[in-house]
Amino acid sequence: MSSSNTLFPLGGPVDENDIVGREDFLKSIQARLADGQSIMLTGPRRIGKTSLALETLRRLKKEGCYVASVDFFRVSTKRELATAIIDACLENRTGIRRTMDALMGGIKTVTNATKLAMKLQGLEFSFSFPDKETSDDLLFSYALDLPQKLAVVDKKQMVVVLDEFQDAARIVGDGVFKLMRSHFQVQNKANYLFLGSKEGLMNNIFAGSDQAFYRFATILPLPPISLAAWLDYIKKKFEDRGICCNEQTIQEIIKISGGHPQDTMLVCSEIYYLLLETGERCLSLEAVQLGTQRALASLTPVFDGILDELGPAKRILIRLVQEASLYERGTHPNEIKRMIDMLINKGILEKMERGTYNFVEPLLKDYLLKVI
C-alpha cells in the first residue's frame, strides 16, 4: 500500500483516507459481499478497483469475516496460483503470509513447526496436507476448495478477492474458468469479488451466455468520482500542508484531469512539488498549468506505449482530437466501428449518449494535441 506520508499517493492501491468519493459504493459492495453475493467489477487501468477491494476486505475482516486476496498479475504458473490462494486463505488462521513456504521446510524449530501444525488442524483433505510431492492439479484443486472448507470448519464467512481474474487463462489455460466455476458454485460459505482491468475479457467471462461464469456474479459498474468529492479532498490536502487554494483553481485541475483517479492524483502531486520548489504558499492557475505540463511529461512514455500498441486505430483518436468525422474515405465503416470498439475495450474511449465518444483520460487527449 502507498505510504500515507505522500500527499497525493500514486501507483498502487491507496488506503481509506485517500479513496476519494467512493464511500457509498464501498458500503454497497461490503453489504452485498457480507450477504453472500459474488460481484464482478471491471474498469480501465488505474481507476481504483484494487483500492476499493482491499478496503472492502479490511472492513469485512473487522466485521469478523475471513478474507483472502490474490492478484493474478503476480503469478505465472498453476502451482504459484494454487500456492497464492492457499496462503491467502490460511493467513486467516496462521497470521503469516507464506504458510506454504513455512510448511515446506522454512521453519527452523520443532516447536514452531508444531505450533503451525496445530493452527492448521482440521484442514486436511483426502490426501495428507499438500507438500512438495503433491501434483499441480491436486494442489490447485485443493486451493479452489479451501475457501469453503476453511469457512465451514471455522464457522465463518469467507470473502475472496480474485484480482486481474481474466489472467487465469494465461496462467492455467482456457479450461480454467469451467474448473473454477465447478468448485465455486457449490460453496455456500465462500463468495467472491472478481476484479479485472481487461474489460472486454471480463465482460465476456461473466456475461457471455456460453461462458462458465455466465451470471455467476453481479456485475457492478464503477461510478465516476463526483466533482464535489474531489473538491473537498484536494482542498483539504493542500490546506493540510499550509497551502491556500480557492475552489475555482481546484475546479480547473479537475477539468484538466477529467476526475480520472490516478491522473487527478498525478496532476495534484506535480503541482504540489512545484509549489514546494518555488516556495509559493498559494495555489495559482499558473501553478496548475505548469504542474499539468510536468504530469504530461511524466506520462509521455506511458502514452507512447499505449499509442504504439494501437496500430491504425490511433488514427481514430487523432480524428477525434481534431474534431473530424470518424468515418473516412477509403476505410469501410465496419472497420472504423471495429477500431472504435477496440478503443472502448481497451479503456481508452468511452461511449457517451447520442453516439459521441470521450477520452477516458482527458490528459491523453491533451497529449495527442501536443504531438500531432
Ligand X SMILES: Nc1ncnc2c1ncn2[C@@H]1O[C@H](COP(=O)(O)OP(=O)(O)OP(=O)(O)O)[C@@H](O)[C@H]1O
Binding status of residue 50 toward Mg ion by CB under 5 A: yes
Of 41 and 254, which CB lies nearer to Mg ion in the complex structure?
A: 41
Contact 23, 34 (CB under 8 A): no
Using CB atoms, what's the residue nearest to ligand X?
48
- Rounded to whole angstroms, the Cα distance separating 69 from 97 reads 11
Binding status of residue 260 toward ligand X by CB under 6 A: no
At closest approach, how far in Å is the CB of 167 from Mg ion?
11
Binding status of residue 261 toward ligand X by CB under 6 A: yes
Of 96, 242, 19, 173, give the one whose Cα is nearest residue 29. 19
Q: Which does 261 bind (CB under 5 to 8 A by kind): Mg ion, ligand X, none?
A: ligand X
Binding status of residue 56 toward ligand X by CB under 6 A: no
Q: How far apart are the first and last CA of the chain?
A: 37
Site string for ligand X, 197-216 (x = CB under 6 A): x-------------------
- Rounded to whole angstroms, the Cα distance separating 172 from 233 reads 42
Of 49 and 149, which CB lies nearer to ligand X in the complex structure?
A: 49
Please identify, among the stretches 44-52, 83-91, 167-175, 272-280, the one whose residues bind Mg ion according to the rule CB under 5 A. Answer: 44-52
Size of the site for ligand X (CB under 6 A): 24
Of 50 and 257, which CB lies nearer to Mg ion in the complex structure?
A: 50
Binding status of residue 287 toward ligand X by CB under 6 A: no
Q: Which does 20 bind (CB under 5 to 8 A by kind): ligand X, Mg ion, none?
A: ligand X
Please identify, among the stretches 5-13, 185-193, 211-219, 294-302, the one whose residues bind ligand X according to the rule CB under 6 A. Answer: 5-13
Of 85 and 296, which CB lies nearer to Mg ion in the complex structure?
A: 85
Please identify, among the stretches 43-51, 111-119, 209-217, 358-366, the one whose residues bind ligand X according to the rule CB under 6 A. Answer: 43-51
| DSSP track, 220-262 | E--PPPPHHHHHHHHHHHHHHTT-B--HHHHHHHHHHHTT-HH
Contact 179, 144 (CB under 8 A): yes
- Strand residues in the chain grouped as ranges (E): 39-42, 66-71, 158-163, 190-196, 218-220, 349-351, 357-359
- Region 215-234 residues binding ligand X, contact defined as CB under 6 A: 225
Binding status of residue 22 toward ligand X by CB under 6 A: yes
Burial label, 142 (beta-carbon count in 10 A; 0-12, 13-18, 19+) = buried
Please identify, among the stretches 49-57, 83-91, 180-188, 341-349, the one whose residues bind Mg ion according to the rule CB under 5 A. Answer: 49-57
- Rounded to whole angstroms, the Cα distance separating 355 from 359 reads 14
- Rounded to whole angstroms, the Cα distance separating 307 from 302 reads 9
Binding status of residue 166 toward ligand X by CB under 6 A: no
Cα distances (angstroms) measured from residue 291 to each of 77, 283, 365: 42, 11, 17
Residue in this structure with the C-alpha cell 507438500, named with its chain if needed: 131
Binding status of residue 187 toward ligand X by CB under 6 A: no
C-alpha cell at 302: 506511458
Q: Which does 56 bind (CB under 5 to 8 A by kind): Mg ion, ligand X, none?
A: none
Q: Rule CB under 6 A: choose which of 1, 4, 11, 127 binds ligand X.
A: 11
Which residues contribute to the site for ligand X (CB under 6 A)? Answer: 2, 9-14, 18-22, 45-51, 197, 225, 261-262, 265
Interface contacts to Mg ion, rule CB under 5 A: 49-50
